[in-house]
Chain A
Amino acid sequence: MSRETARAIAAAVGNGRSARVAVETALAACEADTLNAVIRVHRQRALAAADAVDARVRAGERLALAGVPIAAKDNLCITGLPATCCSRMLEGYVAPYTATAVARLEAAGAIIVAQTNMDEFAFGSSNETSCYGPVKNPVDPTRIPGGSSGGSAAVAAAGLVPVSLGSDTGGSIRQPAGLCGCHGLKPTYGSVSRYGLIAFGSSLDQIGPFAANAADADAVLAVMSGHDPLDSTSAPHPLPVVGEALRGLRIGIVPAHAEGLQPAVRAALDATKAKLQAAGATLVEVTLPHERFAVATYYVIGTGEAASNLARMDGIRFGHRADAPDLRQVYGKSRAEGFGAEVKRRIMLGTYVLSTGYYDAYYKKAMQVRRLICRDFEQAFATCDAILGPVSPTTAFKFGEKLSDPLQMYLSDIFTIAANLAGVPAHSFPAGRDELGLPIGMQLQGPMFSDRRLLAIASALD
């Protein structure tokens, strides 16, 4: 399995090596996948794209990601390819348009070789709810890879492709990156267009890269990000480039983040702190007083938004359509047949918190607490440049361990959720292994639009 970096591939192809070389390697690896991480391989399309990239290079075009093979999560629309969010509700759906983030990558020479498995509609932290079956952690096939972008995390960590794309609404890039042993970034809300990402939580979602190293993630982010007129929540300005990442760096440490950790995760946190100090950073104690309410806030806002977004899945314009004598039953049956249990659970909860009589106590209240969480981060970043902490309290758990207790599953996102509520960028990077060899991830969170600085810090630690 080739571990050629994305940058090395782009340089080689830019110098005249055929794009087919890296694409063939990636296609073969994806076709041989035993982790159930890859759900579709697009051989013909990828080889045709490789030839087109070669022609563009010969014509003198300079392509930032020339010939780089990429895998995309199944909730990203790519013209002519299926997009099902790993749900029977979208069985047969073929996208008639391409997500802006993907279109920009393809314009820069990147080549989609495969689509990856995910928790159904991105609701999950273990990739156990997919209609295509669960994904295996590349390090231990009896354990989950994390979720919801379990497939994309696994293929990047296992080296099937140098870069893959996921989405993060409550930790769905960062937590699987941590559990599989690769880098995974949730960009600043608004910095990567959501056009063409099948929506879960519209005020929370971001598309982001997985990679084996931070520099490749940065190269992909630089191409994908930036204002998009097709996304009205898209930030007007591009992400600033960073000078020196480590000079004068103040790293915030939240004391509460050290509690309730698996001992090896605690040790990895301490080791990472020491590494940063050795590289010249100073550690500063900060607090996020409302973070302990983040999971509750998220499960109100996120489910409310999800219930609203999934209302479009009605079988009429696309997706699974049941036969019934009246329209009301077409909706009710189609959706009951098409959606899995976790999806139904979240739709019901979202409907509850938005319904008359409950909206003020739950949804409106959660939006107020959300503002307090945003302020916590603003205050913390007055005294530090980035907050370091664990991505997950434990390493990868075994299949089935948390499926019967949804609340336990939700609590595995305890460290990742606040960043989605506040919109701040957050990056998960590999920070060692536990006594069983299972990967441990650490997380850097930064002020809005500091994404590239976070990646530069992680790169210095790589």
Chain B
Amino acid sequence: MPISEQQVRHLASLARLDLSDSEIASRANDLEAIVGYVAQLAEVDTTGIEPIANVAGLVNVTRADVPAPMLSTADALGNATVKNDSSFLVPKVVER
């Protein structure tokens, strides 16, 4: 199944990856080959088969809604490069 450069650019945008033109071309080739390979799954008869996500058989594991110890603000901010005392900082998103 051919994968167009336009499709690859769309995927890169969805994935928030600003790829160069040569990277776009390389990834298009890779994707075509790999998607071509995984397309064999269409051969399998899966009529009536429920998809499985958790192989351990667990469903909706929750804990009691009780506050517990957590990372301090300082620790949580510790690995950020652009921040102030209480927040991670980003370029302004909402234009007034």
Contact = CB atoms under 8 A, between A and B. Distances in A.
Interface of A: 92-94, 96-97, 189-190, 203, 229, 232-233, 235, 290, 293, 295-297, 299-300, 307, 311, 314-319, 321, 324-333, 335-336, 339, 341, 344-345, 347-349, 351-353, 355, 361-362, 364-372, 374, 406-407, 410, 421-423, 448
B34 A349 contact: yes
A290 B23 contact: no
A145 B73 CA distance: 41
Contact of A371 (B42, B49, B88): B49
Nearest to B71: A96
Contacts of A189: 55-56
A379 to B, nearest CB: 15
A313 to B, nearest CB: 10
A372 B90 contact: no
B17 A365 contact: no
Given A300-B41, A332-B16, A367-B51, A96 B76 contact: yes
B6 interface: no
A236 B88 CA distance: 37
B91 interface: yes
A174 B43 CA distance: 29
Given A96-B75, A368-B51, A348 B31 contact: yes
Contacts of B18: 329, 332-333, 335-336
A365 B14 CA distance: 22
A190 B56 contact: yes
B78 interface: yes
Interface string B78-94: 11111000001011010
A414 B76 CA distance: 40
Contacts of A332: 16-18
A345 B27 contact: yes
Given A327-B90, A368-B51, A235 B56 contact: yes
Contact of B41 (A319, A321, A339, A369): A369
Interface of B is mostly: loop
The bracket for how many chain B residues form the interface is: 35 or more
B79 to A, nearest CB: 4
A423 B55 contact: yes
A326 B91 contact: yes
Interface in B62-80: 62-63, 71, 75-76, 78-80
Contacts of A361: 42
Interface string B25-36: 011001101110
Interface in B5-60: 8, 11-12, 14-20, 23, 26-27, 30-31, 33-35, 37-38, 40-44, 46, 49-56, 58
A355 B41 contact: no
Contacts, number: 166
Contacts of A348: 8, 11-12, 15, 17, 27, 30-31
Given A317-B88, A335-B16, A296 B40 contact: yes
B56 A321 contact: no
A368 B41 CA distance: 10
Given A368-B50, A372-B49, A423-B55, 16 more contacts: A96-B79, A189-B56, A190-B58, A233-B54, A314-B16, A315-B81, A317-B79, A327-B91, A348-B11, A348-B12, A348-B17, A348-B27, A349-B35, A365-B41, A371-B49, A407-B33
Contacts of B37: 295-296, 299, 407
A270 B43 CA distance: 33
A344 B34 contact: no
Given A332-B17, A345-B30, A317 B80 contact: yes
Contact of A330 (B33, B79, B90): B90
Contacts of B78: 94, 96
Contacts of A92: 79
20 contacts: A233-B54, A296-B41, A297-B41, A314-B16, A316-B82, A317-B76, A318-B80, A326-B93, A333-B18, A335-B16, A341-B26, A345-B30, A345-B34, A351-B11, A365-B46, A368-B52, A370-B52, A372-B46, A372-B49, A423-B55
Contacts of A300: 38, 41
A366 B52 CA distance: 9
Contacts of B19: 336, 344
Given A93-B79, A352-B11, A369-B41, A344 B17 contact: yes
Nearest to B46: A368
A448 to B, nearest CB: 8
A97 B69 CA distance: 12
Contacts of B16: 311, 314, 328, 331-332, 335
